[in-house]
Every structure is written in C-alpha cells, then in structure tokens.
Amino acid sequence: MKQTQKSKPDYAVYVVEGEGDKAHWTKIGAGWSHSDDEGINIILSALPLNGRLTIRKPKAERDDS
C-alpha cells in the first residue's frame, strides 16, 4: 500500500478500558485529516478486543532535556 499521508499524524487513536481515574489508555494507531477537513484516514497497529476507541489530538512532544 502506498503511503500518501503526511509524515506526522493529526490524531492518536487509543483503546480505552474502564472509566474515570481507573481507565487504561493504550495507543493503537494514528489518524490524518483529509485535505478538505471532511474526514480522517486511520491506520491501526492493533485491533481492540474490548473497550472503546478514542481519537485525540496528540499531545505536544515534551522537551525533558
């Protein structure tokens, strides 16, 4: 499959198990906005077996140095 997305994704895809403070978030993919902002292409590196999918803007990279 030819990679046509921008190199840096616009979204991170997580599977979330549980609720509230006890929720466990696992990143399972990434998403790229369409050029017309009418949709999103999503690539998953794992398939969720339970929980819910959540798509979020990625957090800015932290500079810990």
> What distances in angstroms separate CA 40 from CA 18, 20, 34, one per listed residue?
26, 27, 6
Coil, strand or helix at 53: strand
- 34-55 pLDDT, tens per residue? 999 899 999 999 998 888 999 9
Higher pLDDT, 46 or 59: 46
